[in-house]
Structure 1
Amino acid sequence: MSYWSYLKSSYLNAFIVAATAMLCCFMLMVAGTGLAIALLVAALIVFAGILESVTSYLQRRSFYRDLSTGAADVEHPLWITEMIHRPDFIEGEIVYDALRAISKAANDDVAEYRRQTTDYREYVETWVHEAKSPLAAAHLTLENLVDAVPADGDAEAVLRKADALEEELDRVEGYIEQALFFARSETLDRDYLIRSYSLKALVTAAIKANARAMIAARVAPMRKDLDIEVFTDEKWMEFILGQLIQNSVKYARPEGAVIEFSGRVLQSGQADERIELTVRDNGCGVPEADLPRVFDRGFTGENGRGGKRSTGIGLYLVSRLCDKMGISVRADSTEGEGFAITLVFPANKMHYFEH
């Protein structure tokens, strides 16, 4: 920024100084002061104006030069406020503070998008790896299916292999569904429809969708106090409940396995009224040391590393989707006795639109 361009931008100040000098000179002459004194006073006023203008220009020149140079030369302009000093004049301070706030918000957005991209890429890689195993098993089962047909027409062996094939294909379908909901989770606010639904209806639909896996694992469902209405999205909630069922099935005990769905209302009639839905199983449970990390992406824990074919994605998606919908979620467990997930629904529908 040149001094001439600065003067052009502050022409009003120059006009005020000149007008003040002329007015003082005129008033002094009218008062009978000699011309020389009047001109001297006018000259002093003009000199003071020029001095102030030069000082102000030097202050601003340093800041604006650093700002323009930094914006052109810095590899990442979003960090420009880290490369220059905060000025000591009011306009510069306002500009600097505004740029710093914008820079921080933009950098936060960039960091969040990078995290989302990294999470999505790593998840797709994990999903592709996991999807290959059941597909390979399905192909192998199909190849053996023909060989397993007995000569006397007994179809029992064929049916067993067909069931095994169907189970593997169900796993593939589950992984594909996980990928779909993961991809949609960032834009969930444009994809859900909040309405009032019965907990019993939501639980029944989730059990029906996962019935084959529950039957294969000999897991019996139990329902308790589910005649409660909650505000949620039917599709997303059925997926969440499905992930909880699949998690319980995966770690079910060989005999007498049970999944219990129970509901209750807390602070009924009050401003903070809420509804809890607890999904509890009597499986192997989770060690106390692992419990705080069960919702971490990719975390499988000690039991998950014991050949249970766990990916550590299901509960992570449950936590992520619940957070998007403003539903609290917590985990409780006693190792060797069972595992429980509790979903807490706000009773006020407006909470979902404010979240």
Structure 2
Amino acid sequence: MTTLTSHEGLYQLLLQKQQLEQERIKSKLEENAQDIQDYYAMWAHQIKVPLSVLDLMNQTNTIDKYETSNQLLITNQYLDMMLHFIRLKSFHQDLSFEKINVQSLLRSVIQEYKYLFIHKDLDVSLSGFDLLIISDSKWLQFVFEQVIFNAIKYTSEGSIDIKCQNDHQVIIKDTGIGIAASDLPRLFDKGYTGFNGRLENNASGLGLYMVKQILHNLGHDIIISSKVNFGTSVIIDFKQTENR
């Protein structure tokens, strides 16, 4: 029987560790590739909805300015989500921390969705303090867009109220259809659409998953509470500003 020397044993151990690390990296790359492939398939299904609406208006010569703007906005939303989903895979290589005025960022998102508010006849208010935080404005804008877009999507009448509190929290509250208690624990699971998502044929189940991942990576937190037929309240907490 051949006995390995201490140097040979150490060499074998290092080779095993290297092989395990290579297998881990290969598995991660395959997982990422499968995630992107699955998302592309889902995205292709989603993008057909606004494009079909635009095509129908064109064929029937019933072009409506507000509806056209809304469908183009939704199309752009899906494109933006796809780009952010891809960038999320290399999140820490795509960060730029700076001082951000949260109210100013929220105003730009509200302005971006003004046609949706008008089209659905929803009141929107922004109140509270001028919060100044250190974060990444591009990723944070995407978070606000997703949360506010969901509020608009699931609110047929009433209002969406946004408040910046002096305890470094932003509360986005709507008067929409609400979320079933059984769905709340799984809201941030990838691909989970819940009852409301099943009602909306084009729900992806990725928006809130991405929001949670982004905020976690930025060192922030999110809490969602809701009651069916009484609306939803989303709290984004910026007190924890250490990047993870």
Aligned counterparts, 1:63-74, within 5 A: none
Decide whether the 8 Å contact of 1:134 with 1:171 is kept in 2.
Answer: yes
Query: In structure 1, what residue type is equivalent to 2:134?
Result: F
| Structure 2 residue aligned with 1:59 | 3
| Structure 2 residue aligned with 1:280 | 173
Work out the CA distance in 2 between the residues paired with 1:141 and 1:337: 34
Decide whether the 8 Å contact of 1:281 with 1:339 is kept in 2.
Answer: yes
Secondary structure of 2:89's counterpart equals helix
Over 6 Å off, 4+ runs: none
Work out the CA distance in 1 between the residues paired with 2:186 and 2:84: 21
2:125 to 212, 222, 225: 222
Query: In structure 1, what residue type is equivalent to 2:226?
Result: S
Q: Deviations over 1:87-109 (max 9, x none)?
A: xx533442343334333333322
Work out the CA distance in 1 between the residues paired with 2:149 and 2:109: 10
Decide whether the 8 Å contact of 2:171 with 2:233 is kept in 1.
Answer: yes
| Structure 2 residue aligned with 1:75 | none
| Structure 2 residue aligned with 1:313 | 206
The 1:331–1:197 alpha-carbon spacing in structure 2 relative to 1, beyond 3 Å, is same
Matched, 1:260 2:162: yes
Count of residue correspondences: 244
Q: Percent identity?
A: 22
The 1:102–1:171 alpha-carbon spacing in structure 2 relative to 1, beyond 3 Å, is same
Decide whether the 8 Å contact of 2:178 with 2:228 is kept in 1.
Answer: yes
| Structure 1 residue aligned with 2:6 | 90
Q: TM-score, normalised by structure 1?
A: 0.63
The 1:301–1:233 alpha-carbon spacing in structure 2 relative to 1, beyond 3 Å, is same
Structure number having the greater helix percentage = 1
2:187 to 294, 297, 307: 294
Decide whether the 8 Å contact of 1:219 with 1:259 is kept in 2.
Answer: no
The unaligned stretches of length 5 or more in structure 1 are 1-54, 61-88, 149-157, 266-274
Structure number having the greater strand percentage = 2
Decide whether the 8 Å contact of 1:198 with 1:226 is kept in 2.
Answer: no
Work out the CA distance in 2 between the residues paired with 1:214 and 1:311: 22
Work out the CA distance in 1 between the residues paired with 2:224 and 2:19: 38
- What's the offset of the Cα at 1:294? 1.0
> For the pair shown, which has the larger CA radius of gyration, 1 or 2?
1
Work out the CA distance in 2 between the residues paired with 1:142 and 1:279: 36
| Structure 2 residue aligned with 1:104 | 20
RMSD: 2.2
Which fold has the larger relative contact order, with Cα–Cα distance below 8 Å and residues 6 or more apart in sequence? 2
Q: TM-score, normalised by structure 2?
A: 0.89
Q: Deviations over 1:185-224 (max 9, x none)?
A: 2223233311111121111111111111122222222233
Work out the CA distance in 2 between the residues paired with 1:229 and 1:347: 13
Secondary structure of 1:295's counterpart equals coil
Work out the CA distance in 2 between the residues paired with 1:340 and 1:91: 61
1:341 to 230, 234, 238: 234
| Structure 1 residue aligned with 2:109 | 206
Work out the CA distance in 2 between the residues paired with 1:116 and 1:126: 15
- What's the offset of the Cα at 1:125? 1.0
The unaligned stretches of length 5 or more in structure 2 are none
